[in-house]
Structure 1
Amino acid sequence: KDSVAFKRLKSIETTAEDGKTVKLYEFKANIHQQDPYILNWVKITQNQLINPVEQQKTILHGGKFITYYKSGAMIKASSSLSSDGKNWTPVTVSGLPVTVKTNTILSTTNNSGSTAYALNTDNSIYTSTDGLVWSKVTSDYPVIAIYGKLPSASGEFAILTAVNDAGTLKFALTKDFTTFTVKSALPSDNTLPTVDFSAVSLENPTVFSAKYIILSGGKDKNNIVNNKLWIIQELNGDITHLSEVSSISLQLSRLFLYDNKVYLMTYETGKNKLYYSENYGLNWISGGTNQTLPDNFTGRMHASVITDTNNFIWILGGESGAQVPIVDVWRGRLNKLAE
Structure 2
Amino acid sequence: MKNRIVLFIAGCCALLLSSCLGSDDTQYELSKDCQILSFSLSNDSIPELKNVVFTIDQVTGHIFNIDSMPYGTKLDEKVICTVKLASTVYTCQVMQEAISDTLSYWNLEDSLDFSKPVKFVNTLWDGQTTKTYIAQVNIHQVLPDSMVWGIYKEGIADGAVKEEKVVVFGEGNDESYYMYTQSVNASEGYQLYRSAVADGKNWTKLTVSGLPVGEIRLSQMTAYEDAFYAVTTKGVLYSSADGQTWSPVENSPVIKALLGTIDVDDDFTAAGKQPSALSAVIDKDGTLVYGYMNEAKVWNEGTLLNEGFPLTGFGNLSYNSMFRARLLVVAGRDKDNKLTNTAWATDDGKVWAKLTDDETAPFDKQEGVAVAEYDDKIFMLSGINEAGKASSDIYLSRDGGVNWSLSDSLVVMPQEFKARGFSSIYVDQDNYMYLFGGKETNSSNVLNQIWRGRINRLGF
- TM-score range relative to shorter protein: 0.7 to 0.9
Q: Match of 2:380?
A: 264
Distance in 1 between the 2:448 and 2:235 partners? 29
Residue-by-residue CA offset, 1:264-297 (whole Å, 9 max, x unaligned): 0013644311121111222222222211112221
Give the TM-score, by structure 2 length.
0.63
Distance in 2 between the 1:240 and 1:3 partners? 58
2:319 maps to 1:202: yes
Distance in 2 between the 1:9 and 1:295 partners? 47
Distance in 1 between the 2:426 and 2:263 partners? 19
SS at match of 1:298: coil
2:218 maps to 1:102: yes
Q: Match of 2:235?
A: 123
SS at match of 1:65: strand
Q: How many residues align?
A: 312
Q: Match of 2:196?
A: 81
Distance in 2 between the 1:221 and 1:274 partners? 26
- If each structure's helix is expressed as a fraction of its own residues, which one has the higher value? 2
Distance in 2 between the 1:33 and 1:140 partners? 56
* Of 256, 265, 278, the match for 1:159: 278
Q: Structure 1's 140 and 49: CA in aligned 2 closer, same or farther, altered over 3 A?
A: closer
2:263 maps to 1:148: no
SS at match of 1:319: coil
Name the structure, 1 or 2, with higher relative contact order (CA <8 Å, separation 6+). 1
Q: Match of 2:447?
A: 326
Contact 2:161 2:445 in 1 (8 A): no
SS at match of 1:139: coil
SS at match of 1:163: strand
Cα offset, 1:131, TM superposition = 1.4
Contact 2:163 2:445 in 1 (8 A): no
Q: Match of 2:290?
A: 171
The within-5 A match list for 1:1-339 is 3=44, 6=79, 8-9=81-82, 31-62=139-170, 63-71=175-183, 72=185, 73=187, 74-98=189-213, 99-109=215-225, 114-150=226-262, 154-175=273-294, 178-187=297-306, 190-204=307-321, 207-208=322-323, 210-234=324-348, 239-244=351-356, 245=358, 246-252=361-367, 253-267=369-383, 269-321=389-441, 323-339=444-460
Cα offset, 1:317, TM superposition = 0.6
Q: Match of 2:105?
A: none
Distance in 2 between the 1:263 and 1:94 partners? 35
Residue-by-residue CA offset, 1:301-335 (whole Å, 9 max, x unaligned): 21111112221110011112361321101111111
Give the TM-score, by structure 1 length.
0.84
Q: Structure 1's 192 and 182: CA in aligned 2 closer, same or farther, altered over 3 A?
A: same
Identity %: 24
User: Which segments of 5 or more consecutive residues in structure 1 lack a partner in the other structure?
Assistant: 12-27
Q: Structure 1's 178 and 121: CA in aligned 2 closer, same or farther, altered over 3 A?
A: farther
Distance in 1 between the 2:439 and 2:252 partners? 35
State the AA in 2 paired with 1:96.
Answer: L
Contact 2:237 2:252 in 1 (8 A): no
Contact 1:65 1:85 in 2 (8 A): yes
Cα offset, 1:247, TM superposition = 2.8
Distance in 2 between the 1:274 and 1:101 partners? 25
Cα offset, 1:37, TM superposition = 1.2
